[in-house]
């Protein structure tokens, strides 16, 4: 028996109890009851992208005369409210839901229909005069709209948030590379002492990695501009109408300000997630580089007394509940965790993308969730890492120089003068006697003072 605060709706399977104040309806309610899995919902930016599509579809159908003016305007207005952030609590379907996102599509169709009817003075839940399928979903399918919403949401997040954060990190690393250009230090290969390098050169390498990531992501993201909107269920455009595809894309472009276009081959677009896999690949390279940089920062700042301590990271919070005064590299640790989670998202995307069968990939909801999560945590993590860590790094110049002078790999500079084998003997003896290469060579009178200064000029060894 229905509670006093419930209403009874009917769908093609029968009666369903829905909370009286809910803007969603029977199909959404069934999904809520069926998919009690995680409590995770698709992100607000995805809902925004869905609403953009519904608004654009209504405008396209109005343009072609297929949709009544009053109904069409009510749908457009309701969609606009959703893009403005209203009714967030009405999108209640779990991420792990019906394949392709049919429940997700009906969730927004029902919310828009009920809100449109409410603005027209009609009752919520009766779907007159505005019907979620006949009017809000006109010319559409779950298959093309969910696919399109993934592309739109991801492209907007990348353009507005991720790329600017990546550029900001690259700029901060560039500033540090310039600041540290004269700081001489030991290079390390295999985590063992190697020939000298400048700290600025290390940071310049980090900058170059991140600049390349920015370029790679920007290029790959352009594939997301191709939309399957208008393909309807399988790519044929059934029920969409001959002019619909062109008009709906134009309205999406106007609403977003980005140059979205129709996919070249609608059947390929409906079946594959190549664009998403491509951008995920570009993000994977960024994640690998970010993790490497975070690891390096933790190594280079290790100590402060019993580690490398070549750089000092900003102290942003106490590091221990038991050891007074301990400060940890928390921002680098945070970024590592972000990277590990991002790689998990990447794995889900790859497996879900390959699960497409025949005319459709039904794993779209989990692809959407993980792609948007990866983008979101990456730009959030990068912003925090840049502001709270990179910008405040200091060089420990004396430590850097000390390690450079004590590296047995300085014997490499002797190779052209005494040969590899003799230089190797010098390096071994220096280690055995706990002397620097310079000290040992002086004691052996192998070169006069001016020759030795030239041969063991550490700054000269680091090149330009």
**Percentages (nearest 5) of helix, strand, coil residues in the chain:** 60, 10, 30
Contact 346, 374 (CB under 8 A): yes
Instruction: Centre a 10 Å sphere on the Cβ of residue 195 and count the other Cβ atoms it contains.
Output: 18
Nearest to 400, CA basis, from 265, 325, 310: 310
Nearest to 203, CA basis, from 186, 178, 182, 184: 178
| Cβ-count burial 218-248 (b if 16+ within 10 Å, e if not) | bebbebbbbbbbbbbbbbebeebbeebbebb
> Which residue reads 């310039």 in tokens?
178
Contact 136, 75 (CB under 8 A): yes
Contact 368, 149 (CB under 8 A): yes
List C-alpha distances in Å: 324 to 78, 200, 237, 408. Answer: 57, 33, 67, 37
Query: Which one-letter DSSP state was computed for residue 94?
Result: B
Could you please report the per-residue DSSP string of 399-420? HHHHHHHH-GGGGGGGHHHH-H
Nearest to 347, CA basis, from 275, 283, 289, 290: 283
Catalytic status, residue 320: yes
Q: Which of 20, 38, 320, 443 is catalytic?
A: 320
Helix (H, G, I), strand (E, B) or coil at 59: helix
Rounded to the nearest 10 degrees, the angle between the axes of helix 274-300 and helix 142-157 is 30
Per DSSP bridges, beta strands 311-312 and 394-395 are: antiparallel
**d(Cα 93, Cα 103) in Å, to the nearest integer?**
7
Contact 43, 230 (CB under 8 A): no
Query: Which one-letter DSSP state was computed for residue 43?
Result: -
E strand segments, 1-123: 6-11, 14-19
Q: How many helices (H) and strands (E) does the chain have?
A: 18, 8
The total number of residues shown for the chain amounts to 464
For the chain, how big is the Rg over CA atoms in Å? 30
Residues involved in catalysis: 320
């Amino acid at each position: 028996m229905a509670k006093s605060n419930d209403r009874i709706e009917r769908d093609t399977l029968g009666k369903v109890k829905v909370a009286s104040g809910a803007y969603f309806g029977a199909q959404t309610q069934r999904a809520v009851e069926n998919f009690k899995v995680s409590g995770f919902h698709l992100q607000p930016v995805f809902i925004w992208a869905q609403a953009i599509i519904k608004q654009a579809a209504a405008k396209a159908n109005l343009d072609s005369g297929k949709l009544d003016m009053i109904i069409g305007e009510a749908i457009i207005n309701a969609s606009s409210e959703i893009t403005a952030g209203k009714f967030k609590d009405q999108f209640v379907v779990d991420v792990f839901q019906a394949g392709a996102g049919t429940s997700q599509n009906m969730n927004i169709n029902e919310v828009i229909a009920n809100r449109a009817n409410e603005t027209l003075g009609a009752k919520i839940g009766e779907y007159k005069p505005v019907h979620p399928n006949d009017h809000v979903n006109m010319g559409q399918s779950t298959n093309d709209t969910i696919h399109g919403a993934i592309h739109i949401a991801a492209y907007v997040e990348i353009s507005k948030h991720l790329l600017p954060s990546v550029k900001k990190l690259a700029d901060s690393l560039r500033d540090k590379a310039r600041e540290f250009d004269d700081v001489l230090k030991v290079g390390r290969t295999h985590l063992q002492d190697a020939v000298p390098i400048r700290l600025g050169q290390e940071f310049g390498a980090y900058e170059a990695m991140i600049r390349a990531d920015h370029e790679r992501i920007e290029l790959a993201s352009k594939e997301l501009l191709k939309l399957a909107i208008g393909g309807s269920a399988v790519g044929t455009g059934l029920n969409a109408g001959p002019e619909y595809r062109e008009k709906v894309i134009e309205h999406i472009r106007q609403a977003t300000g980005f140059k979205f276009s129709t996919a070249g081959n609608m059947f390929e677009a409906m079946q594959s997630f190549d664009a998403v896999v491509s951008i995920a690949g570009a993000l994977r390279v960024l994640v690998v580089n970010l993790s490497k940089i975070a690891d390096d920062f933790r190594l280079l700042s290790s100590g402060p007394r019993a580690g490398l301590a070549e750089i000092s990271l900003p102290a942003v919070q106490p590091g221990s509940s038991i050891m007074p005064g301990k400060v940890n590299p928390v921002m680098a640790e945070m970024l590592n965790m972000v990277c590990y989670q991002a790689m998990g998202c990447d794995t889900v995307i790859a497996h879900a993308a390959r699960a497409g069968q025949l005319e459709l990939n039904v794993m779209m909801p989990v692809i959407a969730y993980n792609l948007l999560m990866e983008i979101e945590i990456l730009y959030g993590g990068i912003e925090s890492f840049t502001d709270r860590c990179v910008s405040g790094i200091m060089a420990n110049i004396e430590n850097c120089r000390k390690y450079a002078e004590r590296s047995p790999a300085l014997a490499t500079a002797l190779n052209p003068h005494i040969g590899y084998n003799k230089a190797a003997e010098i390096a071994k003896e220096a280690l055995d006697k706990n002397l620097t290469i310079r000290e040992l060579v002086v004691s052996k009178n192998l070169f006069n003072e001016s020759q030795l200064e030239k041969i063991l000029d550490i700054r000269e060894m680091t090149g330009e």
